Structure 1
Amino acid sequence: MRLTKTFKAFFENEKAGGLLLLLVTILSLLFANSPFQTDYIAFWETNVGNHSITHWINDGLMTIFFLLIGLELEREIYKGELSSIRNATLPVFGALGGMIVPAGIFLLLNFGTPTQNGAGIPMATDIAFAIGVLSLLGNRVPTSLKVFLTALAVIDDLGAILVIAVFYTKTIAFTNLFIAFAIMGGLFILNKRKVHNLIPYLIGGAAMWYFMLNSGVHATITGVLLAFVIPFGDGGKKTSSYKLQHFLHKPVAFLILPLFAIANTSIAIGSDWSEGLNHTNTIGIMLGLVVGKPLGIWLFSFLGVSLGICTLPKDLNWKKIIGAGMLGGIGFTMSIFITLLAFKESGKEVITYSKIAILIASFVAGLTGFFWLKYTLRKQSKKKKTALV
């Protein structure tokens, strides 16, 4: 299986971005628990135009992240791994299992409690971190595993976006929502009239974001909607979609996501932090990510292949699928993002404990996934050498 240049560029950026995310998260946690703790945490809560800096990052800059996700998804659907039903079905089935089973585990522990809204937290996969860990395994990683994990994570993010749109929207201002969709309709007409200049789309996107922000639906959804009205054409280097996607890769990987990580991991960890891990909410998050993710991804992939709906690539086996599932348990960015929406009215304590649970679970998932795949790939490499002899 050959990798397209776009996929290679995406994989390389996500790999470096994942390692940077790890570094800035560690630094943020150190600052938040240092003698500079008060000033450091207060900085991110500083109001700029009636909103905190963290709020502008989460509702503003993260829209650009979702725009990139939308552009990547569009490319995968039209030209990439999701353009062929044969190739798409396996990661689609895996992603469904990776969302349903973790959410089910969480609800099993939290249904009917004040924290049941957190069911979406263990559903997500952090693309940058997952690919970053996979890249540490070097050239032994088969191409099909890279593609499977990347496609799985992109579909997971789409699922998380749908969860945000449907389940974390309480009050809707229909006039603002109608205006946002009317602007989108206008941009769609520009697309159909073959207007390729990006400026009207970006101006229209900014207006869409404003009205979506004031509609009650989370403003970041604008990013995904905007991606699908930007002209894709044949997907070549001269198209508007390609140019914007190529331009956004580095700012998202090396500026926006690190800023999100720094702002949202400025957590003061008290001496009683471990007590928060005894709650059904945090147990549900950790079990969902560490156990539910690999179980769901493997189970649904196995069912898809057994029923003849999916095919397992020749250089993949079920051990590698389980390893990919373990890396899928690295929730981080999207899990924290959903936490902020799910527990907006539950108080800082619930959000803080949830973030700690996500960090611990993502670390465990990344570590187990890394060593599981390292052992599996090494064993496979030895078998090949023995066969050649």
Structure 2
Amino acid sequence: MELQNNSGILETFKKLTKSESFAGVLLLCCAVLAMIAANSPLSEMYAALWKSKIGLDINGSFIGMSLGAWINDALMAFFFLVVGLEIKREVLFGELAGFKRAALPVIAALGGMVGPGLIYYALNAGTQSAHGFGIPMATDIAFALGVLSVLGKRVSISVKVFLVSLAVADDLGAIIVIAVFYSNGLSLSWLVVAAGIIVVLMVLNKMGVKALSLYMILGVFLWIAVHNSGIHATIAAVALAFTIPVSPKIDTLSFMEKMKVVVSHFQESEKRKDSVLLQSEQVEALHHLAQHKNAVQNPLVRLEHALAPYSSFLIMPIFAFANAGVTIGANIDFGIDYVFLGILCGLVLGKPIGIFTFTFLAEKLGIAARPQCVSWVEIFGAGALGGIGFTMSIFVTNLAFSGDHALVATDVAKISILIASFTAGILGSIFFFIRDKVCHH
């Protein structure tokens, strides 16, 4: 009975993890838990945890970082690797493949970055907080997908595809913004080392080397070089993703021929078998089967599928728990410049207005065209959901502020992101609920 219960729980968990909304729900739960921890009797312990040093002490010199830095710089590199792999796949084979298909979501994403960025900067120009213009620029795919799955059939497949491809293009834009505007004190020698490693990775790709382990090992050295160069270390993961090979070791036809040989050997051995144990030839056949199975898969897709669950269900929730906890007390000053208003207006108003305006202009100028079944009302609704900017916005917040007011501005920004993302999600949902009611009447 207990085994049945356990298997039932496991099946339910498997179904949950396969649902689009689960990653977003888990992320939200971790953010809420972080806020509870930061405003409970455990607040000092919570704050001290992320400052604790992890590393090696070699001859009196410490090599390592704080736990918070390990999460934000090293663990999040895997998140950015998955984002990079997703962007490359979409550009080569997906919704961003070819100018005509890519034009609309890329232009929409550009509008969704320019709109919020301009609103934030206009409100904070000339202040110490002006450098935070990149905070409201990003869209969180996990949260946006979560809201879309809750809305169900009220949102058409075309709108979902538009929003997801927009979010992927938006991620690429956010990566460029981080690399260009949020890098500190560039070291030319380390940049040369990083460039050299990228060249080696590109050469391996051109030579047809498919061993993912070799790319990942070189990726670690690339991360160290980029980390020391002054550019944010997670950019190394994106650069690595773009060098991962796409074509498999063997083509599908060769794989099918090899499978026929393996299966025939397995069947021949089965005829001679006199016990429940597999014959040595059968074990060998299974070994070849596993080898060929990996060889026929695209290295890029194989790596993305291997890492994506860890990114969605482990790395992002840990990042949310480590970064969303803000102690709401006397230290919170919502009057600090216009950080709160800049982020709130940027995500809630700037996103839909920017996405709608750029899409509208692109169609009127003949640069791109909407999918036939997507209305302007749905474009605006998708833009409203694009204002959910959790993970990447918090990531940029950690890089945006410096000086005396950095700590206060960072806390205000994080609360602003949570409020703005929640508001954008609610408004976007209401938008599609009303549109659905109107259309059915």
Same fold (TM over 0.5): yes
The whole-number CA distance in structure 1 between the counterparts of 2:306 and 2:19 is 12
**1:5-43 per-position Cα deviation (integer Å, ceiling 9, x unaligned):** xxxxxx956532111101111111111111211112211
Query: 1:303-382 to 2 correspondence within 5 Å?
Result: 303-345=361-403, 346-380=405-439, 382=440
Which residue pairs with 2:42 in the alignment? 36
The Cα offsets for residues 293-344 of structure 1, whole Å up to 9 and x where unpaired, read as: 0000001111111112111112211111111111111111111111111114
Amino acid at match of 1:284: G
Distance 1:157 1:344, change over 3 A: farther
1:98 aligns to 2:156 (yes or no): no
- Once the two structures are TM-superposed, the CA of residue 63 in structure 1 deviates from its matched residue by 0.8
One-letter amino acid matched to 2:115: V
- Which string of whole-angstrom CA distances, capped at 9 and with x for unpartnered residues, describes residues 214-252 of structure 1? 010100001110011110127996111011001011000
Q: Partner amino acid for 1:148?
A: F
Do the aligned partners of 2:124 and 2:337 also contact (CA within 8 Å) in 1? no
Distance in 1 (CA, whole Å) between partners of 2:324 and 2:228 is 27
Q: Give the total of aligned pairs.
A: 372
> Match of 2:229, SS?
coil
Matched with 1:203 is 217
Report the counterpart of residue 3 of structure 1 in structure 2: none
Q: Helix, strand or coil: the match of 1:51?
A: strand
What is the CA deviation profile of residues 328-367 of structure 1, one whole-angstrom value per residue up to 9, with x for unaligned ones?
Answer: 1111111111111111444311100111111111111111
d(CA) in 2 for partners of 1:27 and 1:377? 34
Q: How much does 1:279 deviate?
A: 3.2
Say if 1:277 and 1:353, in contact at 8 Å, map to a contact too: no
CA 1:176–1:253: 2 relative to 1, 3 Å: same
Q: Distance in 2 between matches of 1:32 and 1:170?
A: 29
CA pair 158-362 structure 1, distance change in 2 beyond 3 A: same
SS in 1 for 2:184: coil
TM-score by length of 2: 0.81
**Does residue 240 in structure 1 map to residue 254 in structure 2?**
no
The equivalent position to 1:16 in structure 2, one of 19, 22, 47, is 22
Specify whether residues 272 and 215 from structure 1 end up closer, same or farther in structure 2 by C-alpha distance, changes over 3 A only. Answer: closer
Post-superposition offset of 1:272 = 6.7
Structure 1's unaligned 5+ residue stretches are: 1-10, 384-389
CA shift at 1:376, angstroms? 1.3
Partners in 2 of 1:93 and 1:142 — Cα distance? 21
Q: 1:187 aligns with which of 201, 207, 211?
A: 201
Q: Could you tell which deviates more after superposition, 77-86 or 278-287?
A: 278-287
How far apart are the structure 2 equivalents of 1:35 and 1:365? 31
Q: What amino acid sits opposite 2:22 in the alignment?
A: A
Q: 1:130 to 1:98 in 2, by over 3 A?
A: same
Cα distance in 2 for partners of 1:255, 1:277 equals 35
Separation in 2, partners of 1:174, 1:256: 31
Corresponding residue number in structure 1 for 2:192: 178
Instruction: Tell me if 1:267 matches 2:273.
Output: no
The amino acid of 2:345's aligned partner reads L
Q: Partners in 2 of 1:194 and 1:293 — Cα distance?
A: 42
Q: Between the two proteins, what is the percent identity of the paired residues? A: 47
Tell me if the contact between 1:14 and 1:253 (Cα under 8 Å) persists in the aligned partners: no
> 2:271 — aligned with what?
none
Distance 1:229 1:160 in 2: 19
Q: 1:297 aligns with which of 349, 355, 362?
A: 355
Q: CA RMSD in A?
A: 1.9
Partner of 2:31: 25
What is the aligned partner in structure 2 of residue 70 from structure 1?
84
Task: State the SS of the aligned residue for 1:114.
Answer: coil
Counterpart for residue 72 of structure 2: 58
2:7 is matched with: none
Which of residues 266, 277, 284 is equivalent to 2:342? 284
Which residue number corresponds to residue 218 of structure 1? 232
CA distance in 2, matches of 1:368, 1:12: 26
Residue 4 of structure 1 corresponds to: none
- Choose 227-236 or 103-112, whichever is displaced more: 227-236
Unaligned runs of 5+ in 2: 1-16, 56-63, 253-295
